[in-house]
């Protein structure tokens, strides 16, 4: 394993921002993959999975099991991680909204540009993503339709769901879209709850990464088959919203199979304690996401249910 | 007459509502379908528009007989942000101006965006007043995507601003309020002026005159058009960006909005620890310094200024 410096960015007063990568194997031996961890300061779960993967791959390399080339960058925005902030601490910009980057541009555009340069030439690109809302979710593959995406490769993760959909305008400045356009088969694994570590989800994502690398002969290990992934789009997701604001209490977990009529959550008035609402499943399916903060806003999405009905 | 209305409301978890209010001014004869919307506070740290809204409201209250059509003033879209010095939507930390047109079926910021669009849909014109951010000071200007220049530049020229900047279309900007409203047929101008978290009184009065002139020209007010300045047009020259070469404290050498010669010093980047001057920021072209950094701490790449130079 080589520990390499992806970028070294000086600060006016803090110690420099140093983004490190961990490089395993050799390109000449087989396919290559680059894995990017925490781009935001609240993507702790993504940092955890990436650093655990570095440790795992270090041992596998010692055993001679690396048969391709693997780059893992556990953390990009270490400045934000060290301050408990989600975005670049000075101007609050999101590094994952700055791709493909611009070497002559603003600070986070330059960081994105240097990071993006280091990610070029890999056969596969995997982004460990947190959520962009106050939710938590069943780990899933997010694959946007840029015209260069590879759905079959995404299935090799063996995850339960692949959310396969059109991209929104803001995603044109995100890493997945640009990485695909620049020739790597890029996808995102979305999981966990921002600011925390969920060991079950982390284990699931770790297994998916190992399975993916084994299937693509990057890693010479045996791994269990995962799921035969369900490819779903927005039309398969039912949103259940909170009619009231207040204290939110979920009665189910992400991944639970539910029946029509099941009570999924309750909302009580935050001051009087009055029971305001039961959130009832209007159909059967699987809970893929749920609101994860104990205080909920009116009309917030409390649950997302995947269903084929 | 005027009436304060709540156009969007949503319960917050603990005994409070998030709300968007507008003040609607109408002719004595009643509401008209002809309508203009004046908007500020999509970013919670931008307050210049709040002052313009006040000045316009003050003028309309003093001159109710001059009102010929419906004039809506929305001073505070991101009301949570404005009252807490927060640019984005608090709790979610989402830039509201990157999620338009929004959706009723998405998280709170998207619902706010949807509420804003629903309230303003049908307006003939919308003026979205921004203040740059806390980092940069800007002269009063309007920014327009090239695809909409033909429709919007003549309107912008009536606003008594200093600069009309027509820029290339960028896909990510399709998520802005202005793009959403222009797509719906409301001619929407984005004004940038001043600096975040502060008021520039002179700019406020300058834009008030521009708004009165525009409303006179477009049939919202029964007054004579004002004698306004003709803005510099970006197509007659080029914009040069001045980015910091390294981290430090940026100390400007000249005032904002000055004419500057090519090769002259715009400012220095200094190191407070060692007492050394690390770099000088040099003007790559001559012209008007229409953007100047207001917040002194810089990293490599931080924008410290922009110069507009006319083609020779």
ipTM at complex level: 0.89
Fold of B236-310: OB fold (Dihydrolipoamide Acetyltransferase, E2P) (2.40.50)
Q: Which residue among A182, A212, A231 closes a domain?
A: A231
Mean pLDDT of B34-51: 97
Q: DSSP secondary-structure letter at B33?
A: S
What is the layout of strands, in order, in the sheet containing B297-298? B276-282, B265-271, B248-252, B297-298
Q: Which of A56, A20, A27 is nearest to A218 (CA)?
A: A27
User: Is residue B172 predicted with pLDDT exceeding 90?
Assistant: no
Q: What is the pLDDT of residues A15-73, one digit of tens each?
A: 999 999 999 998 777 899 999 999 999 999 999 999 999 999 999 999 999 999 999 99
Q: Which of B88, B98, B11 is nearest to A299 (CA)?
A: B11
Q: Which of B215, B221, B199 is nearest to B54 (CA)?
A: B199
Q: Check whether residue A92 and residue A225 sit in a common domain.
A: yes
A141 phi, psi to nearest 5 deg: -90, 130
Lowest mean pLDDT: which of A174-188, B160-174, B207-221, B245-259? B160-174
Tell me which residues of chain A, numbers 231 to 260, contact chain B at a CB-CB cutoff of 8 Å.
Answer: 239, 241, 244-247
Q: Are B191 and B130 in contact (CB under 8 A)?
A: yes
Mean pLDDT of B95-102: 95
Q: Check whether residue A33 and residue A174 sit in a common domain.
A: yes
Q: Check whether residue A123 and residue A268 sit in a common domain.
A: no
Q: Check whether residue A118 and residue A148 sit in a common domain.
A: yes
Q: Which residue of B has its CA nearest to A99?
A: B172
Q: Check whether residue A168 and residue A267 sit in a common domain.
A: no
Residues of B in contact with A270 (CB under 8 A): 13-15
User: Is residue B106 predicted with pLDDT exceeding 90?
Assistant: no
Q: How far apart are the first and last CA of chain B?
A: 52
Q: Which residue among A186, A209, A231 closes a domain?
A: A231
Query: Which H or E run includes A175?
Result: helix A175-181
Q: Which residue among A231, A258, A282 closes a domain?
A: A231
Q: Is the CB of B14 less than 8 angstroms away from the CB of A11? A: no
Q: Does B172 touch chain A (CB under 8 A)?
A: yes
Whole-number pLDDT of residue B1 = 86
DSSP one-letter string for A23-35: EEE-GGGS-EEEE
Mean pLDDT of B135-164: 96
CB pairs under 8 A between A and B: 102
Q: What is the pLDDT of residues A158-212, one digit of tens each?
A: 999 999 999 999 999 999 999 999 999 999 999 999 999 999 999 999 999 999 9
Q: Are A119 and A101 in contact (CB under 8 A)?
A: no
Q: Is the CB of B247 less than 8 angstroms away from the CB of A10? A: yes
Whole-number pLDDT of residue A256 = 97
Q: Is the CB of A87 less than 8 angstroms away from the CB of B104? A: no
A84: left (phi over 0), alpha (psi -120 to 50) or beta: left
Q: Check whether residue A123 and residue A32 sit in a common domain.
A: yes
A79 Cβ contact list (under 8 Å, min separation 6): A11, A14, A17, A41, A88, A89
Q: Is the CB of B15 less than 8 angstroms away from the CB of A271? A: yes
Across the interface, of A12, A105, A271, the residue whose CB is closest to B14 is A271
Q: Check whether residue A247 and residue A193 sit in a common domain.
A: no
β-strand partners of A161? A230
Domain of residue A89 covers 2-231
Q: Is the CB of A10 less than 8 angstroms away from the CB of B174? A: no
Mean pLDDT of A209-234: 96
Interface test with A, best of B8, B9, B13 (most A CBs within 10 A): B13
Three-state secondary-structure class, residue B212: helix
Q: Does B169 touch chain A (CB under 8 A)?
A: no
Q: DSSP secondary-structure letter at B67?
A: B
Tell me which residues of chain A, numbers 101 to 120, contact chain B at a CB-CB cutoff of 8 Å.
Answer: 104-110
Q: Check whether residue A172 and residue A246 sit in a common domain.
A: no
Number of domains in chain A: 2
Model's pTM, two decimal places?
0.93
Q: Which of B232, B223, B246, B215 is nearest to B289 (CA)?
A: B232
Query: Which H or E run includes B113?
Result: helix B108-120
Mean pLDDT of B120-132: 97
| Interior angle at CA B97, CA A77 and CA B246, nearest 5 | 40
Mean pLDDT of B91-97: 92
CA quadruple B129, B133, B137, B143: dihedral positive or negative?
A: negative
Q: Does A168 touch chain B (CB under 8 A)?
A: yes
A245 phi, psi to nearest 5 deg: -95, 155
Tell me which residues of chain A, numbers 255 to 274, contact chain B at a CB-CB cutoff of 8 Å.
Answer: 270-271
Q: Does B297 touch chain A (CB under 8 A)?
A: yes
Fold of B2-230: Aminopeptidase (3.40.630)
Q: Are B21 and B74 in contact (CB under 8 A)?
A: yes
* High-pLDDT (> 70) share of chain A, %: 99
Mean pLDDT of B262-277: 97
Whole-number pLDDT of residue A5 = 98
Tell me the C-alpha to C-alpha distance, in Å, between residue A172 and each of A96, A98, A247, B171, B309.
10, 9, 36, 7, 31
How many C-beta atoms lie closer than 10 Å to residue B172's C-beta?
A: 16
- A309 pLDDT band (50/70/90 cuts)? low
Tell me which residues of chain B, numbers 140 to 159, contact chain A at a CB-CB cutoff of 8 Å.
Answer: none
CA A114 to chain centre: 21
How many C-beta atoms lie closer than 10 Å to residue A288's C-beta?
A: 25
How many C-beta atoms lie closer than 10 Å to residue B9's C-beta?
A: 12
Whole-number pLDDT of residue A203 = 97
Q: Which residue ranges make up each domain of chain B?
A: 2-230, 236-310
Q: Does B108 touch chain A (CB under 8 A)?
A: yes
- B96 pLDDT band (50/70/90 cuts)? very high
Q: Check whether residue A260 and residue A133 sit in a common domain.
A: no
Residues of B in contact with A246 (CB under 8 A): 13-14
Q: Which of A217, A167, A164, A179 is nearest to A35 (CA)?
A: A179
Mean pLDDT of A134-161: 97
Q: Check whether residue A105 and residue A249 sit in a common domain.
A: no
* C-alpha–C-alpha distance, residues B285 and B266, integer Å: 11
């Amino acid at each position: 394993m080589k520990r390499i410096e992806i970028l070294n960015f000086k600060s006016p007063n803090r110690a420099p921002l140093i983004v490190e990568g961990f490089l395993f194997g050799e390109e000449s031996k087989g396919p290559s993959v680059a894995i990017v961890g925490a781009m935001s300061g609240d993507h702790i779960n993504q940092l955890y999975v990436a650093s655990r993967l570095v440790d795992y791959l270090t041992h596998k390399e010692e055993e001679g099991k690396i048969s391709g080339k693997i780059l893992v960058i556990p953390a990009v925005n270490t400045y934000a991680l060290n301050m408990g902030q989600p975005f670049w601490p000075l101007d609050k910009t999101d590094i994952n909204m700055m791709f493909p980057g611009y070497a002559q541009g603003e600070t986070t555009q330059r960081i994105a540009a240097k990071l993006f340069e280091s990610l070029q030439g890999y056969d596969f690109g995997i982004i460990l993503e947190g959520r962009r809302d106050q939710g938590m979710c069943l780990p899933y593959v997010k694959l946007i339709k840029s015209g260069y995406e590879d759905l079959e490769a995404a299935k090799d993760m063996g995850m339960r769901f692949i959310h396969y959909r059109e991209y929104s305008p803001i995603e044109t400045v995100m890493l997945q879209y640009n990485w695909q356009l620049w020739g790597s088969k890029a996808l995102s694994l979305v999981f966990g709850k921002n600011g925390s570590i969920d060991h079950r989800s982390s284990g699931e994502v770790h297994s998916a990464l190992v399975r993916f690398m084994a299937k693509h002969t990057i890693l010479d290990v045996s791994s269990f088959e995962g799921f035969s992934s369900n490819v779903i789009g927005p039309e398969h997701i039912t949103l259940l919203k909170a009619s009231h604001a207040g204290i939110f209490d979920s009665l189910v977990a992400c991944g639970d199979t539910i029946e029509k009529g099941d009570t999924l959550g309750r909302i009580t008035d935050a001051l009087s304690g009055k029971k305001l609402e039961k959130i009832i499943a209007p159909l059967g399916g699987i809970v893929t996401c749920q609101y994860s903060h104990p205080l909920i806003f009116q009309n917030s999405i409390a649950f997302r249910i995947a269903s084929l009905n | 007459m005027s009436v304060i209305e709540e156009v969007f409301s949503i319960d917050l978890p603990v005994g409070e509502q998030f709300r968007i209010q507008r003040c609607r001014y109408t002719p004595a004869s009643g509401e008209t379908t002809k309508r203009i919307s004046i908007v500020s506070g999509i970013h919670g740290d931008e307050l210049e528009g709040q002052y313009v809204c006040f000045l316009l409201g003050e003028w309309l209250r003093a001159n109710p007989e001059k009102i010929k059509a419906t004039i809506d003033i929305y001073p505070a879209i991101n009301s949570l942000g404005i009252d807490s010095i927060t640019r984005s939507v608090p709790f979610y930390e989402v830039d509201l101006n990157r999620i338009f047109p929004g959706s009723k079926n998405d998280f709170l910021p998207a619902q706010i965006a949807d509420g804003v669009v629903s309230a303003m849909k049908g307006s003939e014109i919308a003026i979205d007043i921004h203040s740059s951010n806390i980092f940069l000071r800007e002269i009063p200007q309007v920014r327009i995507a090239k695809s909409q220049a033909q429709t919007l530049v003549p309107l912008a020229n009536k606003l008594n601003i200093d600069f009309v900047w027509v820029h290339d279309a960028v896909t990510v900007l399709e998520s802005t309020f202005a793009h959403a409203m222009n797509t719906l047929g409301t001619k929407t101008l984005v004004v940038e002026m001043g600096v975040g978290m502060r008021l520039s009184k002179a700019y406020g009065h300058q834009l008030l005159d521009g708004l009165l002139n525009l409303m006179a020209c477009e049939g919202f007010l029964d007054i004579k058009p004002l004698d306004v300045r003709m803005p510099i047009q970006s197509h007659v020259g080029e914009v040069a960006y001045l980015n910091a070469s390294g981290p430090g404290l940026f100390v400007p050498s000249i005032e904002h909005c000055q004419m500057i010669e090519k090769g002259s010093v715009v400012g220095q980047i200094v190191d407070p620890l060692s007492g050394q001057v690390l770099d000088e920021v040099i003007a790559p072209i001559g012209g008007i310094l229409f953007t100047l950094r207001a917040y002194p701490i810089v990293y490599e790449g931080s924008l410290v200024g922009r110069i507009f130079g006319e083609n020779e």
